[in-house]
Chains A and B, each alone.
Chain A
């Protein structure tokens, strides 16, 4: 799909809005894209580095199948870049003070260090079974040698974001066969 910002008229914006779109910058203009579209377009990231994005993708896939394609990386990056008072992250409910990216960075590093310790490779290089085993190691508490926020809290938060992007959108509901029936469909001009 090749998205030209100029092609997006209000009708398509509304249609896209109904899919849970976020405002991204394309060629200096704000356009509404779903996180999945932003990923497909490889839109540049604002806060996350390429390496961090690789970790989010790999962990997202292992925790909630489909989270990577649903655009978890762009969703998180977009949230980190905005005003914390308007953030949509589940972390907001945990009374963890901003900047929120710090919490994720520390958690991702903790998971990657565990991957290296246990499997001798970085998280993105693990196969599906190894990644599944690795996630199991952080669900119950801090694995040995863990550094970062409490592992179980990081797992809970990261999983919740991945669930949001995968199952909590209009497309996600559709995938599960749940009627969305909104009063006002997700649309935001920020």
Chain B
């Protein structure tokens, strides 16, 4: 095929991040002709420069996205662009969701249920962890749902991790090594981690899982045509069939790629934006939107950061950007009076001196000489942890289109987001608990950071009821059988656990289904 051939292919996938890369590898290996388009650069491992400053160019650099509401969502910080997507520089904290996360409505009469259960996904979690290489201690993680033990021994804990763990212990709480998609020993030709704490900038030695390691090379090997710097503008459709996508690339200009199956894997925010921007006479409210739910139930995790200075040396700049340890004693959603929702602790992430999650930002009120004094002490004595708090789905939290247009004439997406009362109350509870843990661990006057947000989920939720959801449990849109959505945008609830392990399990299950029922999809 020519470099920019628009010859009809079996599958066109939009977005070469976590979900798009996995699908490209599986479908290409199943013999399908695949074109994979990504708006951003064609990153390679050598681009992963160890610097919090240079790391910023890995984040979203495409058309603007607006963010409004009571708690505007920090899109650019949370979004990737280019081959690997956000997964190229994600931190690799890979807990599974818990059984109750899939049945929140049935159990608590609030929020939503998934159309699949944990048991449905368990075999896919097990398959993925074997392939990716996940490190952990399944026994020590007393809260972990059923599943095969981790293929790799757990990440070590040291410095701040050991100190903070004593605080949890003093309060009668349990900690366990954080489950990490990080190699603690050599695995499948990849080397073990050296705990230098550069994960936020991407791990060029491949100790931390990312799509450049195997899914993208596998896809390429199997013949997939991967085109970076190709921004999809809209999905084309005729009646109830998607016919392809229109995209723009500096070399080829505006090009149409026809395909039998169109898959959107462009993130939880930009997938619904594409559907809405693909409105036509037949689909005036946007594609796959007969339910009116496209863009709805957008969710983020609320983040409570806790910091403290300890007498002991903490080696805070080393370790993993994700976490050394976890505690999920507070995971069960109805443990706390008057609030519903889970949270987990991610204990002792590595912090470098600068950047949004760096040491200097932890005391953003300091400047001049007091800042310098603080920095000199903190680089050796600071400890930190973060509570990741569930946000239950709320229909008003949404992705919509503004009236403003980008350079390509497309309407600019707008994220409307405010944390619900439940999330704010659980956040407050977790924050107070974190400060108590730090005091018990011996921190001098621990303090907390402002409310933050992480991860993006929902916006194109899956469900059994086609009037209340956008896709079925495989991500196939109810309205258009050859249009599939992939990624955490499908999640009807967020749980309090990082989403990427689950999105891999959901995506792997979907690819099995696509391959096994090809004619239903591409027909």
Contact = CB atoms under 8 A, between A and B. Distances in A.
B353 A139 contact: no
A81 to B, nearest CB: 15
A160 B371 CA distance: 12
Interface in A79-135: 84-90, 92-95, 97, 132, 135
B49 A185 contact: yes
A186 B51 contact: yes
Contacts of A88: 53-54, 56-57
Contact of B65 (A95, A156, A160): A95
A184 B46 contact: yes
Q: How big is chain B's contact interface, by range?
A: 35 or more
Contacts of A178: 317, 352-353, 379
Interface stretch (A40-48, A49-57, A164-172): A164-172
B367 A135 contact: yes
A176 B379 contact: yes
Interface of B: 46, 48-54, 56-57, 59, 61-62, 64-67, 72, 74-77, 194, 196, 198, 203-205, 317-318, 352-356, 358, 360-361, 364-365, 367-369, 371-372, 375-376, 379-380
A93 B76 contact: yes
Q: Interface residue tally of chain A, by bracket?
A: 35 or more
A95 B62 CA distance: 11
Contacts, number: 141
Nearest to B46: A184
Contacts of B194: 181
B379 A184 contact: no
A182 B50 contact: yes
6 contacts: A87-B61, A88-B54, A93-B76, A139-B367, A159-B364, A177-B379
Contacts of A94: 74, 76
Nearest to B367: A63
Interface string A59-79: 000111110000000000000
Given A87-B56, A188-B54, A167 B353 contact: yes
A181 B196 CA distance: 7
A179 B317 contact: yes
A172 B353 contact: yes
B376 A176 contact: yes
Given A65-B368, A132-B367, A168-B353, 11 more contacts: A62-B367, A64-B372, A65-B372, A84-B61, A86-B61, A95-B66, A139-B365, A159-B364, A160-B361, A163-B353, A184-B46
